[in-house]
Structure 1
Amino acid sequence: MLNGRVQEAEAILRYIAKKNGMTPPAVLFNDLELEDMKAKSKQSHSIIHLVKIRKVRAITIINFLMWMILSGVYFGLSLNTSNLHGDDYLNCFLSAAIEVPAYGAAWLFLRRFPRRFSLSGSFSLAGIVLFSIQLIPSNLSVISTVLVMIGKFGIASAFAIVYVYCAELYATTIRNMGVGMSTTASRVGSIISPYIFYLDTYHEFLPFILMGSLAMSSAIGVLFLPETVNVPLPDTIDQMQTMNGFKCRSNDRNHNQFNINETSGEANVVVSIKEEI
């Protein structure tokens, strides 16, 4: 609708109504709504809109830093597998296998818990265990390896959650740009990640202390982002500005619904579609 493709939008809405066993009105959009959508379809957006408005700029900056840290820690742990104590092949297998339950946990978090606390909790788990590795005696190397795997579990869960959460934060008009620029920022972390473990020349546990500290800082930074669970996805930048941090707004239990208000013989349809992962 925001791109002026009204006929396609109507076809989609009627298909949704059919699947939900409902009968939509003959007229889905009145003339006023069509004029409003036509005006919005003429608006163009560029990357500058990610930082032009204060609240959107804050979301973008936190996202960029979060993605860089996430990617740096994730690939840093992956590339450091060969430096762990024990058999290299077993460690490599465990490092890959731990991602299977991590993605399962991410799916459960997305289904049942708020986005912010799910992502912050995953970051916190990774940060705490990585920071705690320095407390393990050198003769208990197995425990250190276990903690690294738990850290990999937490950061892999966060990597799965962040894609969903980041897409829900941005309005439809700039969502592709927001997610695209965030993943581009994460490549900076990927580039830096191979060099993190060179810091062990200064202190044996300095790489883990650094990654644990960065993960904990991301866990705190996520809490300043708006909550998106059970909240209609924003379509415009103006709607993004109404999203508040430290607040979880509830929505109707039915994620797909038609609210029909009859006004002067015309029907206005409000469709709320919430995708669940």
Structure 2
Amino acid sequence: MGLDEVMQAVGPRQLYLLCLLTVLQIFVAAHAVFMTIVGATSPFHWDFGNLPSDHSQDNTTANESQQFRHWLRVTNKSEIHRHVHFDPGFSSVITEWFLIGDASYKINMASSMYFFGVLIGVITFGQISDRYGRKKVYLTGLALDILFGIVSGIAPTYQIFLALRFFVGVNNGGMSLVSFVLLQEYVPVSYWAITGSLQSLSFAIGISLYALVGYFIRSWRVLAIVINIEGVIILLPSLCIPESPRWLYAQGRWSEAEQILESFAKKKGQQKSVVSLKPPTAQNVGEKANVLDLFRHRILLERTLVLMFVWLICSLVYYGLTLSAGDLGGDRYLNIALSGLAELPSYPICLFLLSRTWSGRRRTLAGFLLVGGAACLIIIFLPETKGTGLLSVVISQTPAILGKLSISAAFNVVYIYSSELFPTSVRNVGMGICSMSSRIGGIIAPFVPSLKSIQVSLHFVVLGVAGLLAGVLCLLLPETLNKPVPEKISDLYGIAHHKRDIVVPQASVVNPAGESSESEEDFAADEGTALIQ
């Protein structure tokens, strides 16, 4: 029996690992949208000399605002502390370090620094885990993520806080990538789409839960520490998880892989099954390729450029809507919670459309991007709501919710679609380039909401136009539904598709009754790339 067949019937231990690493995404999401609450603006008024007193920031005239901004630039911190008064029932990094006026860009800088750290993390952690193992890198990244997250809650200065947000991003993004791969390698290939979607679902739930916790904990320092307590709760049971059996096999550590597979195959009340792996007898023969091939061949170049742009826009619009959710009018916490809940229906919808011949991959992706872009443009025509009730918020935020649902579905679809467009020989490097492109979108996204200082709806215009353009460009790509996945770059040019000689491991399982079966499988399945929102 092949190795994947050994894991075909998911056992209790695999379900436990699935739950543990899926819940982890709730913790990952809290750090990804951390600044939506701890970087929230707070009403304030000032009282200084000839400046108008007891005026909120939102009610000043242009001349008063100009005077105040000039005063902020030329006044030392102690003076600002004495004459600027924030809402005493709320604290954030803004109230902590007076990030107002010309210093308000530092709020977005903290978010961008986090996503820049994620970019570094996904590049480095994947390579390190290939060499030293998934479990060690995952545990190290999670522990450091928690450590830097807690320390950021007690950072004495903004500069230290900014540096800590970078290190949180490195470890959070890298650890999340490795945990995704680790979970996929715990289960059969046939379960990968389900496990990947469950992790995305958990990420969306994490956004809503973060808003709920933030509603009750108004001190940003306490909130920063509390969200890392969940990380500690996940870290402790993670100390006992097994290494990836697929990685162990690839390293030639047969006996260790066999022991893990035996524990997976064991059912409650049954005797231990015996798994015997046999090493391959020859070397894989295949096309050698590298990242330069993505840009050397015309067809592959067109696909790569379009997909890089689509991934960037998916990340830009996703985080642009998420990070601006609190500024859409009404209650900030309710808006953020609805932003997360809006994603939940997107995953079953896209799974349904992906398998239909009338929609397929290309039309599904293009459709979600076009709807998401159109929803962003509709927002600019809506009047700002002043009500905080659930009904008024839901009605007024329907376009934003629709946009978030659509872009979440597009983000999920583009991962599946991209893996089918790239030939096997360059699939990992192709997905890696696309993932890096999406991180660039994440770095830019925190600054998009700040465009409202130029024009109140300009950021939604940018997000809407970007979504529409990405949707149109998707139509240039070929459909992949029910079509063979290209194995080599030459397959893209219509050259005869010759099946490669695939060297596979052999595995035999002896069940408690003593019966034995043996077969071959393609163990060299692509590792995959995590979709880190």
* TM over 0.5, shorter chain: yes
Higher relative contact order (CA closer than 8 Å, sequence separation 6+) = 1
| Helix, strand or coil at the partner of 1:91 | helix
Question: Are the equivalent residues in 1 in contact too, given 2:328–2:384 (CA < 8 A)?
Answer: no
Write the mapping of 1:78-89 to structure 2, written as runs, cut at 5 A: 78-89=322-333
Aligned position for 1:119: 365
Question: In structure 1, what residue type is equivalent to 2:486?
Answer: P
Unmatched tracts of structure 1, length 5 or more: 1-7, 16-37, 244-277
Distance 1:42-1:168 versus aligned 2 partners, 3 A rule: closer
Distance 1:39-1:50 versus aligned 2 partners, 3 A rule: farther
Question: Are the equivalent residues in 1 in contact too, given 2:323–2:449 (CA < 8 A)?
Answer: no
Distance 1:241-1:39 versus aligned 2 partners, 3 A rule: farther
Q: Deviations over 1:64-91 (max 9, x none)?
A: 1111111011011111121121122221
Q: TM-score, normalised by structure 1?
A: 0.71
Aligned position for 1:59: 303
2:480 to 216, 228, 244: 228
Residue 240 (structure 1) shift: 2.0
Residue 234 (structure 1) shift: 0.6
Residue 43 (structure 1) shift: 3.8
Aligned position for 1:47: 291
Which is further off, 106-115 or 123-132? 106-115
Q: Paired residues, what number?
A: 213
Aligned position for 1:181: 433
Aligned position for 1:68: 312
Question: Are the equivalent residues in 1 in contact too, given 2:355–2:481 (CA < 8 A)?
Answer: no
Aligned position for 2:375: 129
Residue 242 (structure 1) shift: 3.6
Aligned position for 2:38: none
Distance 1:161-1:42 versus aligned 2 partners, 3 A rule: closer
1:161 to 409, 413, 435: 413
Which is further off, 139-148 or 52-61? 139-148
C-alpha distance in 2 between matches for 1:42 and 1:236: 8
C-alpha distance in 2 between matches for 1:49 and 1:39: 23
| Helix, strand or coil at the partner of 2:345 | helix
Question: In structure 1, what residue type is equivalent to 2:335?
Answer: N
Question: In structure 2, what residue type is equivalent to 1:218?
Answer: A
C-alpha distance in 1 between matches for 2:312 and 2:477: 16
C-alpha distance in 2 between matches for 1:135 and 1:242: 49
Rg larger in 1 or in 2? 2
Residue 39 (structure 1) shift: 11
Q: Deviations over 1:169-222 (max 9, x none)?
A: 011111111111101111000000000011111111100011000000000000
2:492 to 240, 244, 254: 240
Distance 1:41-1:82 versus aligned 2 partners, 3 A rule: same
Unmatched tracts of structure 2, length 5 or more: 7-281, 387-391, 496-533
2:417 pairs with 1:170: no
1:145 to 382, 397, 402: 397
2:453 pairs with 1:207: no
Residue 54 (structure 1) shift: 0.6
Q: Deviations over 1:222-249 (max 9, x none)?
A: 0001110010111110112349xxxxxx
Q: Deviations over 1:115-157 (max 9, x none)?
A: 1100000001101111111222345884442211110010001
| Helix, strand or coil at the partner of 1:41 | coil
1:106 to 341, 350, 366: 350
Aligned position for 1:218: 470
Question: In structure 2, what residue type is equivalent to 1:51?
Answer: F
C-alpha distance in 2 between matches for 1:134 and 1:42: 53
Question: In structure 2, what residue type is equivalent to 1:77?
Answer: L
Question: Are the equivalent residues in 1 in contact too, given 2:312–2:438 (CA < 8 A)?
Answer: yes
Question: Are the equivalent residues in 2 in contact too, given 1:56–1:241 (CA < 8 A)?
Answer: no
1:95 to 339, 344, 353: 339
Which is further off, 162-171 or 137-146? 137-146
C-alpha distance in 2 between matches for 1:145 and 1:175: 39
Question: Are the equivalent residues in 2 in contact too, given 1:110–1:118 (CA < 8 A)?
Answer: yes
Question: In structure 2, what residue type is equivalent to 1:227?
Answer: E
Percent of matched pairs sharing the same residue: 33
Distance 1:42-1:163 versus aligned 2 partners, 3 A rule: closer
Distance 1:51-1:220 versus aligned 2 partners, 3 A rule: same
Q: Deviations over 1:2-42 (max 9, x none)?
A: xxxxxx9xx69x99xxxxxxxxxxxxxxxxxxxxxx99926
Which is further off, 133-142 or 203-212? 133-142
Q: TM-score, normalised by structure 2?
A: 0.38
Distance 1:96-1:120 versus aligned 2 partners, 3 A rule: same
C-alpha distance in 2 between matches for 1:155 and 1:84: 18
Distance 1:92-1:138 versus aligned 2 partners, 3 A rule: closer
Aligned position for 1:271: none
Question: In structure 1, what residue type is equivalent to 2:371?
Answer: L
Question: Are the equivalent residues in 2 in contact too, given 1:102–1:154 (CA < 8 A)?
Answer: yes
| Helix, strand or coil at the partner of 1:135 | coil
C-alpha distance in 2 between matches for 1:75 and 1:43: 38
